[in-house]
């Protein structure tokens, strides 16, 4: 079976944040009227894009 183009349902990931990061995350969510999950996804997406752009420059 070719699974190259199969999309998988999002899976939960459990992380342990330092107390100050936890507080920042939840305050950022309140300030932006978003969920903490949305903030985490946005930050990880931006990090992924920066990493990919950096790899493209090196290629």
pTM for this entry: 0.76
Distance CA 35, CA 42 (A): 11
Ordered DSSP codes for 10-34: ---------HHHHHHHHHHHHHHT-
What are the pLDDT digits (tens) for 15-39?
Answer: 999 999 999 999 999 999 999 999 9
What percent of the chain is predicted at pLDDT more than 90? 73
């Amino acid at each position: 079976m070719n699974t190259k183009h199969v999309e998988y349902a999002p899976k939960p990931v459990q992380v342990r944040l330092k107390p100050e990061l936890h507080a920042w995350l939840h305050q950022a969510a309140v300030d932006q009227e978003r969920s903490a999950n949305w903030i985490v996804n946005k930050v990880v997406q931006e990090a992924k894009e920066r990493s990919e752009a950096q790899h493209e420059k090196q290629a």
